Structure 1
């Protein structure tokens, strides 16, 4: 079961602004987390997990506990912990229910913002390869990307099904780098959670934090509020 890693406060202040544009210009590839980074959906995930937990398990999960305990983890590991059940069939049923409800919500209201979409399209147009590297299943990530015709802008999607161990294990990032044929020091990862940071750093990647939470000031030396095309401009 994935546990939230402990990461130390950086030794220097969080850098923003022109440094981001320079990092992106110098990179031979960008590796972007999906949930909470490319897709603004962490509140949705927390809501759905909480609903299923109370309906099917009789377990109450409040927002604070979700963000403190479960942010960045796979749905499988969340439901396994919440249910205390090691039976993969039981946990799998809960995950399938989550996936259906997640896709229903995404089809009603897109979660990838217009600015994040424009960022990906601008990077792609500039010739820099892009990988989406996620602990989510392709069952949800690929349809969400396809919904706004963004999948053809992305060179590779490495998801839960593609690796034996999910984040914080670095396997997903290692695989994406191998597919792209890029050395880790020549790429940049974008992440929003301690688990994601641990995975990217474990693969040797520099990491840009994405989001507004206080957590980022604890673990990120470089951060942005959200993905948007003006990050490409010095």
Structure 2
């Protein structure tokens, strides 16, 4: 696929889509809550917030657990925990790396648009060896509202100089897929959490890998982008026969 003027741009969600950072976010959240007198934070509790920005997550946890610390303090503390963990290395999903490298070689405009902090985005991309492939990065910190609002994707498109209708978004979570729909962008869905496969937000995805990263295929995405397929509609995210989904 050779990029040409008027061709597509591709916007990647970061956590759970490009890299398997959710276990690190879970551990950072567990440490944060334990330090504030809330032990026993579980993966199931964490999974409620996958695809939702860190600020929105902490606002909810602060309210639910009656935490006294201001949200800004909690944000800074969780970010410190996360950066310590992420700096040691974050796994990039192999087929995602292949896709990014192929798109970059074809000079397709690329961006990361994430609910994570800008510091977290930069740290993870550097640790994963992707630092030089994403000159455009947009954090939810930089826009009015995080996903499912479309702000991060629209800002990424603006910085790339590509209209929304020519953008393709790769997402692992329903809030991100909904944000792509609201932005007027095509979406490739790669569900990270098994239980979200049938979420209505994925119904608008033009291409879906219901088995998650386990069945994600970079070449299939490249072919689909090259053909500029329209949305495949509600049937795109039908659950695989064996009922399994991604590695996460």
- The offset of 1:100, in angstroms, is 1.9
2:70 match: secondary structure: helix
1 or 2 for the larger relative contact order (CA 8 Å, sep ≥6)? 1
User: Please, what TM-score do these two structures have when normalized by structure 1?
Assistant: 0.78
What is the aligned residue count? 208
User: Please, what TM-score do these two structures have when normalized by structure 2?
Assistant: 0.74
1:134 to 114, 132, 140: 114
Q: Are the structure 2 counterparts of residues 228 and 100 from structure 1 closer, same or farther at C-alpha, using a change threshold of 3 Å?
A: farther
Q: Deviations over 1:39-87 (max 9, x none)?
A: 11122212321231132142643222221x3122222222222222698
2:208 matches 1:223: yes
1:50 to 27, 30, 36: 30
Contact 1:80 1:86 in 2 (8 A): no
What are the equivalent positions in structure 2 for 1:1-234 lying under 5 Å apart?
28-58=8-38, 60-67=40-47, 69-84=48-63, 90-212=70-192, 213-218=194-199, 219-220=202-203, 221=205, 222-224=207-209, 225-226=212-213, 229-231=218-220, 234=223
Distance 2:24 2:189 in 1: 20
1:198 match: secondary structure: helix
The CA RMSD over aligned residues, in Å, is 2.5
Unaligned runs of 5+ in 1: 1-20
Unaligned runs of 5+ in 2: 224-248
Contact 1:192 1:216 in 2 (8 A): no
Q: Are the structure 2 counterparts of residues 232 and 170 from structure 1 closer, same or farther at C-alpha, using a change threshold of 3 Å?
A: closer
Q: Are the structure 2 counterparts of residues 206 and 137 from structure 1 closer, same or farther at C-alpha, using a change threshold of 3 Å?
A: same
Q: Are the structure 2 counterparts of residues 27 and 223 from structure 1 closer, same or farther at C-alpha, using a change threshold of 3 Å?
A: farther
